[in-house]
Structure 1
Amino acid sequence: MNFPTLADFGHDPWWLILLKAVGVFAFLVANPLAAILIERKIMARMQTRIGPNRVGPRGLLQSLADGVKLALKEGIIPSGVDKPIYLLAPIIAVVPAIMAFAVIPFGPMVSVFGHQTPLQLTDLPVGVLYVLAITSVGVYGIVLAGWSSGSTYPLLGGLRSTAQVISYEIAMGLTFAAVFLDATTMSTSGIVAAQEHHWYVLLLLPSFVIYAISMVGETNRAPFDLPEAEGELVGGFHTEYSSLKFAMFMLAEYINMVTVSALATTLFLGGWQAPWPISMFDWANSGWWPILWFTVKVWVFLFVFIWLRTSLPRLRYDQFMNLGWKVLIPISLTWVMVVAVIRAAIGTSDDDDLARSLVSAGAGLVVTALIGYAIWRLMRLPRVSLRDSSVAATRPAGQGATRAAEEAFDPMAGGFPVPPMPGQVLPSAPVQKPPSDPAKETTDA
Structure 2
Amino acid sequence: MSQIPVELVKLLIALAAIAAFVGLNGLVLVYLERKIAGHVQRRPGPFEVGPHGLLQPLADAVKLIGKQLFTPAGADKLLFWMAPVLSFFPVLLLFLPLPFGPTATGMEMNLGLLLILAFSGLNVLAICLAGWGSNNKWGILGAARGVAQSVAYEIPLLLSVLAIAFQTGSLNLSEIVQGQGGWPWQWNAFVQPLAFIIFFVSALGETNRAPFDLPEAESELTAGFHTEYSGMGFGMFFLAEYANMIVVCSVATALFLGGWQGPFFAGSWWFLLKVYVLLVVMIWLRWTYPRVRFDQLLNINWKWLMPLALLNLLITAFVTKLF
**1-structure distance, mates of 2:6, 2:169:** 27
What SS does structure 2 have at the residue aligned with 1:314? coil
2:211 touches 2:285 (CA, 8 Å); kept in 1?
yes
Question: How is 1:86-165 mapped onto 2 (pairs within 5 angstroms)?
Answer: 86-108=80-102, 118-165=103-150
What SS does structure 2 have at the residue aligned with 1:97? helix
Q: Deviations over 1:273-296 (max 9, x none)?
A: 11x3x2xxxxx12xxxx1111110
The aligned counterpart of 1:5 is none
Partner residue of 2:312 out of 329, 335, 344: 335
The aligned counterpart of 1:364 is none
Partner residue of 1:63 out of 57, 62, 72: 57
Q: Once the 2 structures are TM-superposed, how far is the Cα of residue 231 of structure 1 from its aligned partner?
A: 1.0
What SS does structure 1 have at the residue aligned with 2:121? helix
**2-structure distance, mates of 1:29, 1:191:** 28
**2-structure distance, mates of 1:31, 1:37:** 10
The aligned counterpart of 1:396 is none
Q: Which has the higher contact order (CA 8 A, sep 6+)?
A: 2
**1-structure distance, mates of 2:128, 2:108:** 30
**2-structure distance, mates of 1:53, 1:125:** 46
What SS does structure 2 have at the residue aligned with 1:103? coil
The aligned counterpart of 1:394 is none
**2-structure distance, mates of 1:21, 1:245:** 21
Partner residue of 1:168 out of 150, 153, 163: 153
**2-structure distance, mates of 1:343, 1:307:** 36
The aligned counterpart of 1:241 is 229
Whichever residue aligns with residue 148 of structure 2, its letter is A
Whichever residue aligns with residue 26 of structure 2, its letter is P
Consecutive unaligned residues of structure 1, counting only runs of 5 or more, are 1-10, 109-117, 279-283, 348-445
Whichever residue aligns with residue 132 of structure 2, its letter is W
What TM-score, normalized by structure 1, do the two folds share?
A: 0.69
**1-structure distance, mates of 2:97, 2:246:** 14
Question: How is 1:409-420 mapped onto 2 (pairs within 5 angstroms)?
Answer: none
Q: Deviations over 1:86-114 (max 9, x none)?
A: 01100000012221111000111xxxxxx
Whichever residue aligns with residue 64 of structure 2, its letter is L
Whichever residue aligns with residue 160 of structure 2, its letter is T
2:138 touches 2:225 (CA, 8 Å); kept in 1?
yes
2:303 pairs with 1:315 = no
**1-structure distance, mates of 2:78, 2:19:** 27
- Does the C-alpha gap of structure 1 residues 234 and 272 become closer, same or farther in structure 2, counting only changes over 3 Å? same
Q: Deviations over 1:150-177 (max 9, x none)?
A: 1111000000000000000000000011
What TM-score, normalized by structure 2, do the two folds share?
A: 0.95
The aligned counterpart of 1:230 is 218
The aligned counterpart of 2:255 is 267
2:14 touches 2:96 (CA, 8 Å); kept in 1?
no
Partner residue of 2:206 out of 201, 215, 218: 218
What SS does structure 2 have at the residue aligned with 1:67? helix
Whichever residue aligns with residue 93 of structure 1, its letter is S
Whichever residue aligns with residue 333 of structure 1, its letter is L
Q: Once the 2 structures are TM-superposed, how far is the Cα of residue 14 of structure 1 from its aligned partner?
A: 5.1
Q: Once the 2 structures are TM-superposed, how far is the Cα of residue 21 of structure 1 from its aligned partner?
A: 3.0
Consecutive unaligned residues of structure 2, counting only runs of 5 or more, are none
Whichever residue aligns with residue 100 of structure 1, its letter is L
Taking only aligned residues, the RMSD between alpha carbons, in angstroms, comes to 1.4
**2-structure distance, mates of 1:337, 1:311:** 34
Question: How is 1:270-419 mapped onto 2 (pairs within 5 angstroms)?
Answer: 270-274=258-262, 276=263, 278=264, 284-285=265-266, 290-345=267-322, 347=323
Partner residue of 1:37 out of 19, 23, 31: 31
